[in-house]
């Protein structure tokens, strides 16, 4: 077991903890409760053991492991169950003890699903207002497409696309995130009223990004990717996609914390569709609950992604609503704190039904 690592993936979810004292744990302070964990031992990048352990037997199981592995397991478990602090975006507070909706507003001519739809700041702000009225918690404004094959955009062009609409939305009191890889765009967006940075490169594209985020004290989303948008879907390979994505995010979170970014302000995104094949995406989706072990809130951005079309007779992006909602509910059932979506109204409705079922289950008889 020398050099091996332990991972705990919550599973065997139950509707409510009542009558299950000592047999279930609450996941990340949210609305999901799990009664077992899949204990995964990895050595040299390979899974060498997988054991399904009931929560009531977990302490004894960990106690029977060698000291270093037992310590890893207990630390991992502590991160799984620790509540996530709410996001503070200026005067707006977004609770993370329940699933929240981040609505997409692309100010781009070439995004894969809605490129060119928002031709000017006023019409874009109107679209955003409708998504907020539907129940979205915040608007994610982007000025550069990161679809597979997309070319980079000059930062000043990106700023010109996003700042006017951010100013309009901020003036109306909306919570806003900026979807960008560039420090200059991050700074301009924050100055215009954005409160959250959503970086698909995980703060790796621009060497100034980590320092800027730390200095400004803004919450940030660190997303996993492999390659850049122009090349990321050219035959990506993983030995174990779920574990490798976890390890990459763990390293990036550690780098961000070392740069002075408070861990409570970091969200992680496993990067569905970014440098991953269909099988890789499905492995990540099935194992989403593992990422709670990073001790950060999870953002899931899989709306209208290509893998949904691949599973539904190659349906085009505009015809992937049903699959997108299915993905959102899969995330909610594994405790994901935020989902990034194109279809705010339908997503909010689906999550309200999910929440209603959860509330009923959590109401003692």
Could you give the residue numbers annotated as active site?
Answer: 305, 340
Closest by CA position to 298, among listed 276, 272, 270, 274: 270
Q: How far apart are CA 160 and CA 70, in angstroms?
A: 52
In the block, residue with structure tokens 């779920």: 242
Q: How many CB atoms within 10 Å of residue 364?
A: 6
Q: Where does the chain show beta strands of DSSP type E?
A: 5-14, 25-26, 33-43, 46-54, 87-89, 92-94, 100-106, 138-142, 176-179, 196-199, 220-223, 266-269, 297-300, 338-341
Q: How many CB atoms within 10 Å of residue 272?
A: 26
Q: How far apart are CA 306 and CA 112, in angstroms?
A: 9
Closest by CA position to 308, among listed 292, 324, 328, 294: 324
Output phi, psi for 218, to 5 deg: -85, 145
Output phi, psi for 18, to 5 deg: -65, 130
* Token pair belonging to 341: 């979506």
* Token pair belonging to 313: 């007779």
Output phi, psi for 103, to 5 deg: -95, 140
Q: How many CB atoms within 10 Å of residue 283?
A: 17
At residue 259's C-alpha, the angle toward residues 254 and 264, to 5°, is 60
């Amino acid at each position: 077991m020398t050099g091996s690592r332990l991972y705990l993936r919550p599973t065997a979810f139950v509707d409510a903890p009542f009558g299950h004292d000592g047999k279930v744990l609450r996941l990340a302070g949210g609305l999901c409760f799990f009664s077992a964990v899949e204990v995964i031992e990895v050595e040299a990048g390979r899974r060498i053991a997988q054991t399904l352990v009931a929560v009531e037997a977990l302490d004894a199981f960990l106690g029977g492991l060698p000291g270093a592995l037992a310590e890893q397991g207990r630390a991992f478990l502590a991160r799984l169950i620790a509540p996530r602090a709410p996001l503070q975006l200026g005067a707006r507070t977004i609770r993370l003890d329940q699933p929240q909706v981040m609505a997409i507003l692309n100010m781009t001519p070439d995004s894969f699903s809605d490129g060119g739809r928002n031709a000017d700041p006023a019409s874009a702000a109107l679209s955003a207002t409708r998504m907020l009225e539907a129940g979205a918690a915040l608007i994610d404004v982007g000025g550069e497409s990161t679809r597979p094959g997309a070319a980079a955009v000059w930062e000043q062009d990106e700023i010109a696309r996003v700042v006017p609409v951010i100013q309009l939305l901020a003036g109306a009191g909306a919570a806003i995130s900026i979807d960008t890889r560039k420090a200059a765009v991050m700074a301009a967006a924050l100055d215009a009223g954005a409160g959250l940075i959503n970086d698909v490169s995980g703060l790796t594209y621009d060497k100034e990004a980590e320092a800027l985020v730390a200095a400004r004290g803004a919450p940030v989303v660190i997303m996993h990717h492999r390659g850049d948008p122009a090349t990321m879907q050219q035959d990506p390979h993983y030995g174990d996609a779920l574990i490798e994505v976890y390890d990459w995010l763990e390293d990036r979170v550690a780098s961000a914390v070392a740069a002075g970014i408070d861990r409570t302000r970091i969200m992680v995104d496993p990067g569905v569709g970014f440098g991953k094949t269909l099988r890789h995406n499905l492995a990540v989706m099935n194992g989403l609950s593992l990422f709670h072990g990073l001790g950060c809130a999870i953002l899931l951005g899989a709306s209208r992604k290509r893998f949904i079309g691949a599973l539904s007779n190659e349906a085009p992006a505009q015809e992937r609503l049903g699959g997108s909602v299915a993905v959102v509910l899969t995330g909610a059932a594994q405790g994901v704190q935020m989902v990034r979506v194109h279809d705010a109204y339908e997503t909010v409705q689906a999550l309200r039904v999910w929440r209603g079922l959860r509330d009923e289950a959590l109401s003692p008889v």
